């Protein structure tokens, strides 16, 4: 486990991440992940994150070393598309049993690798470590090494057992495995000055194919996509690219940054979501390639394609944009793509009434604020009940979220659209933006909403339904609180002050307020005094809010 701990520390030390560099040595050791709350958490684990990041490599056998839960409950459940091999959709697991727990699972794992190679002959086997074999001390690095030597094939250990942290960390640990064992181990047949890597793109619903035709047209070759629709050898020779684009926020920043360090491949962080972002990304790709020696005329051709595509996209969006202008969108995305989606929706004339930021990094959050102005609500860890209240009080016309929270909207008779991993539609590039707008329109304008909101025949028109009862009960609770405040102001105030602002460090509202009243009038000052917002940073906006709320009071005092 010590090497795994080192890797995790190394990931936490990421110099490409400004946020980490702003921390003290001690804080950094604690890691960049929010402490999970028992009974209040809902996300995936580090193993899940590693699998998401690597499974899109289509010709590899992905073998999960663990009990049946890790693979049996989850295999073939993502929409990463392949243009060829289907082996990545085959579920392989050692399905370890009690005997393995007692005697160790290493031999079992070795045999499983042998069987896979004998039956399926893949170019490589990826072995994923999970919690239980990590606990009993199975050394998958040693098993993979022995198997690789014995069978003359790459067998790559992915050390990312679930309990080391959340999905986001798993993405990075997967990247570390590629850097250590895969990247730089093969050579492409030839290279061109127009070779790029795309890092952090998983080709969900075939989104890479909404981008690739334009790159093809410009003569830009995707030498390697990590990892959407990738083949093993492509990833292995990705170190020969001239430039790289890092998609999807910070999920694989370590791969991009270390490839720059080791192989001198410059990268930029971009997005394929939204017309503006798509154009910026094409320009940036061209710029980096020209910087690395491609013919400068590439930029002219790129601009020509951008002009043509933007015009075509706007033309196709126009009929919808008229109908959607002013429609309010409640955006609850568990993913790291919040800000990219915000930009895209604003292009279609819609208004964003909120977005969740649970898994987004702080920089994501800053970008969201920049894009939406200060008015937008950002929700951290909303309970379903609160989410429902938002839907009602924000008077949203549609909710966009991941699959899990869809039923809050649907049961309330509200239009809803899936924008997370499990979605079936591709929303990238110019085509994708048009597709997203079309889907939103198809959803909002469906006649079914009128039907499902009708009361049953045994109830009077306008009679209380469960939705109105739920709202009434929320109001009743608020009144109860107010009454409690009247009855026992001291207790109510104590309760209010005891509510946590910062979940990571357990800092209460009262503690933050006291610090602000005591003179700490910036987020930094409050953090330094109370420790609030020094964990995951998600509560920074709440601290800002408290400072803002109290500032008239302070000014009056002066």
Partner 1 sequence: MAQLAKNAKACTVNPLKMSQPIGGALAFMGMRGAMPLLHGSQGCTSFGLVLFVRHFREAIPLQTTAMSEVATVLGGFDNVEQAIVNIANRTRPEIIGICSTGVTETKGDDVDGYLKLVREKHPELDHIALVYVSTPDFKDAFQDGWAKAVTALVNALVEPPLPHSQPDSRRINVLPGCHLTPGDIDELRDLFEAFGLEPTFLPDLSGSLDGHIPEDFTPTTIGGTGCEEARAMGSAAWTIAIGEQMRPAAEALEVKAGVPFRLFDRLTGLEANDALIRFLAEISHHPVPRKIRRQRGQLVDAMLDGHFHIGGRRIAIGAEPDLLFAMASFLHEMGAEICAAVTTTHSPLLAQLPGEEVIISDLEDLEVRAQDADLLITHSHGRQAAERLHIPLFRMGLPMFDTLGAGHLVSVGYRGSRDLIFAIGNLLMAQGHAPTPESWREFPSTLSNPPIKELVS
Residues 6+ apart with CB under 8 A from 27: 534
By CB under 8 A, is residue 47 in contact with partner 1?
A: yes
Among 97, 446, 522, 545, binds partner 1 (CB under 8 A): 97
By CB under 8 A, is residue 96 in contact with partner 1?
A: yes
* Residue number, 388 or 430, with CB nearest to partner 1: 388
CB crowding 512-535: b at 16 or more within 10 Å, else e: bbebbeeebeebebbbebbbbbbb
Is residue 227 reached through a cis peptide bond, with omega within 30 degrees of 0 on the bond before it? yes
List the interface residues with partner 1, window 351-390 (CB under 8 A).
383-385, 388
Residue 111 beta carbon to partner 1: minimum distance, rounded to whole angstroms: 4
What are the start-end ranges of the E strands in 266-397? 267-269, 328-332, 351-356, 377-379
By CB under 8 A, is residue 423 in contact with partner 1?
A: no
By CB under 8 A, is residue 103 in contact with partner 1?
A: no
17 vs 301: CA distance, rounded Å: 33
- Strand, coil or helix: what is 182? coil
Residue 67 beta carbon to partner 1: minimum distance, rounded to whole angstroms: 4
Residue 286 beta carbon to partner 1: minimum distance, rounded to whole angstroms: 39
By CB under 8 A, is residue 558 in contact with partner 1?
A: no
**Longest distance between any two alpha carbons in the chain, whole Å:** 80
List the interface residues with partner 1, window 134-173 (CB under 8 A).
135-136, 161-166
* Residue number, 264 or 384, with CB nearest to partner 1: 384
By CB under 8 A, is residue 128 in contact with partner 1?
A: no
Which range, of 71-79, 236-244, 500-508, 537-545, touches partner 1 by CB under 8 A?
71-79
DSSP string, 84-152: S--GGGS-EE----HHHHHH-SHHHHHHHHHHHHHHH--S-EEEEE-HHHHHTT--HHHHHHHHHHHHT
End-to-end CA distance of the chain: 56
Among 108, 153, 221, 327, binds partner 1 (CB under 8 A): 108
253 vs 200: CA distance, rounded Å: 8
Among 55, 82, 94, 129, binds partner 1 (CB under 8 A): 94
Residue 327 beta carbon to partner 1: minimum distance, rounded to whole angstroms: 24
Residue 548, burial from CB neighbour count under 10 angstroms (0-12, 13-18, 19+): exposed
Measured torsion, CA atoms of residues 316, 317, 323, 329, in degrees rounded to the nearest 10? 150
By CB under 8 A, is residue 466 in contact with partner 1?
A: yes
Which range, of 39-47, 304-312, 478-486, 526-534, touches partner 1 by CB under 8 A?
39-47
List the interface residues with partner 1, window 50-69 (CB under 8 A).
63, 66-69
By CB under 8 A, is residue 190 in contact with partner 1?
A: no
List the interface residues with partner 1, window 276-315 (CB under 8 A).
none
Residue 42 beta carbon to partner 1: minimum distance, rounded to whole angstroms: 7
By CB under 8 A, is residue 446 in contact with partner 1?
A: no
Residues 6+ apart with CB under 8 A from 366: none
* Residue number, 135 or 311, with CB nearest to partner 1: 135
- Strand, coil or helix: what is 401? strand
By CB under 8 A, is residue 90 in contact with partner 1?
A: yes
Cα 77 from chain centroid?
17
By CB under 8 A, is residue 495 in contact with partner 1?
A: no
- CB count, 10 Å around CB of 385? 13
Which range, of 199-207, 442-450, 467-475, 545-553, touches partner 1 by CB under 8 A?
467-475
Q: Which two tokens stand for residue 38?
A: 């028992």
Per-residue DSSP letter, 33: S
Size of the site for partner 1 (CB under 8 A): 72
Q: How many CA atoms lie within 13 A of 357 on its CB side?
A: 23
449 vs 314: CA distance, rounded Å: 28
CA–CA distances in Å: residue 297 to residues 213, 286, 289, 449: 19, 10, 11, 52
Among 2, 24, 73, 374, binds partner 1 (CB under 8 A): 73
305 vs 302: CA distance, rounded Å: 5
By CB under 8 A, is residue 86 in contact with partner 1?
A: yes
* Residue number, 76 or 480, with CB nearest to partner 1: 76
By CB under 8 A, is residue 39 in contact with partner 1?
A: yes
By CB under 8 A, is residue 334 in contact with partner 1?
A: no
List the interface residues with partner 1, window 19-38 (CB under 8 A).
36-38
* Residue number, 114 or 301, with CB nearest to partner 1: 114
Residue 528 beta carbon to partner 1: minimum distance, rounded to whole angstroms: 27
Instruction: Compose the 383-422 pattern: x for residues touching partner 1 by CB under 8 A, - for all others.
Output: xxx--x--------------xx--xx--x----------x
Residue 147 beta carbon to partner 1: minimum distance, rounded to whole angstroms: 12
By CB under 8 A, is residue 115 in contact with partner 1?
A: yes
Among 11, 45, 251, 520, binds partner 1 (CB under 8 A): 45
Among 141, 191, 192, 467, binds partner 1 (CB under 8 A): 467
CA–CA distances in Å: residue 541 to residues 21, 280, 454: 20, 29, 40
């Amino acid at each position: 486990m010590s090497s795994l701990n080192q890797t995790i520390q190394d990931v936490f030390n990421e110099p490409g991440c400004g946020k980490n560099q702003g921390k003290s040595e001690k804080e950094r050791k604690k890691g960049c992940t929010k402490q999970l709350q028992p009974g209040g958490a809902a996300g995936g684990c580090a193993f899940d994150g590693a699998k998401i990041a690597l499974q899109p490599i289509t010709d590899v056998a992905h073998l999960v070393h663990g009990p049946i839960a890790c693979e049996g409950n989850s295999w073939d459940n993502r929409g990463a598309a392949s243009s060829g091999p289907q082996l990545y959709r085959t579920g392989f697991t050692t399905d370890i049993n009690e005997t393995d727990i007692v005697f160790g699972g290493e031999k079992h794992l070795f045999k499983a690798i042998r069987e896979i190679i004998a039956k399926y002959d893949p170019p490589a086997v990826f072995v994923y470590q999970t919690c239980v074999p990590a606990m009993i001390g199975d050394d998958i690095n040693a098993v993979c090494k022995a198997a690789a030597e014995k069978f003359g094939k790459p067998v790559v250990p992915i050390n990312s057992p679930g309990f080391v942290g959340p999905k986001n960390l798993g993405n990075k640990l997967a990247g570390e495995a590629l850097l250590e064992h895969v990247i730089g181990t093969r050579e492409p047949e030839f290279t061109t000055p127009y070779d790029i890597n795309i890092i952090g793109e998983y080709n969900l619903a075939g989104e890479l194919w909404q981008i690739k035709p334009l790159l093809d047209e410009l003569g830009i070759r995707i030498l390697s996509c990590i990892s959407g629709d990738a083949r093993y050898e492509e990833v292995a020779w990705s170190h020969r690219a001239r430039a790289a684009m890092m998609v999807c926020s910070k999920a694989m920043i370590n791969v991009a940054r270390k490839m720059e360090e080791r192989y001198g491949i410059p990268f930029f962080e971009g997005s394929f979501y939204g017309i503006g972002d798509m154009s910026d990304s094409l320009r940036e790709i061209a710029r980096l390639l020209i910087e690395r020696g491609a013919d400068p005329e590439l930029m002219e051709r790129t601009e020509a394609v951008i002009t043509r595509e933007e015009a075509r996209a706007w033309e196709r969006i126009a009929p919808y944009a008229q109908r959607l202008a002013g429609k309010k969108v409640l955006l609850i995305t568990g993913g790291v793509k919040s800000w990219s989606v915000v930009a895209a929706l604003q292009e279609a004339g819609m208004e964003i009434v909120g977005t969740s930021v649970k898994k987004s990094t702080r920089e994501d959050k800053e970008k969201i604020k920049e894009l939406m102005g200060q008015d937008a609500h950002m929700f951290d860890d909303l309970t379903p009940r609160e989410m429902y209240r938002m839907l009602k009080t924000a008077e949203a016309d549609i909710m966009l979220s991941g699959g899990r929270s869809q039923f809050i909207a649907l049961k309330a008779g509200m239009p809803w659209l899936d924008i997370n991993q499990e979605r079936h539609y591709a929303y990238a590039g110019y085509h994708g933006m048009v597709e997203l707008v079309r889907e939103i329109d198809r959803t909002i304008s469906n006649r079914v909403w009128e039907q499902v909101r009708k009361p049953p025949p045994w109830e009077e028109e306008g009679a209380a339904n469960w939705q109105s009862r739920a709202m009434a009960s929320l109001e009743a609770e608020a009144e109860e609180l107010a009454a409690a405040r009247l009855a026992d102001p001291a207790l109510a105030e104590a309760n209010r002050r005891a509510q946590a602002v910062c979940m990571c460090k357990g800092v209460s509202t009262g503690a933050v307020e006291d610090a602000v009243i005591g003179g700490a009038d910036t987020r930094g000052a409050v953090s330094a005094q109370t420790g609030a917002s020094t964990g995951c940073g998600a509560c920074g906006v709440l601290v800002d809010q408290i400072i803002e709320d109290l500032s008239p009071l302070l000014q009056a005092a002066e």
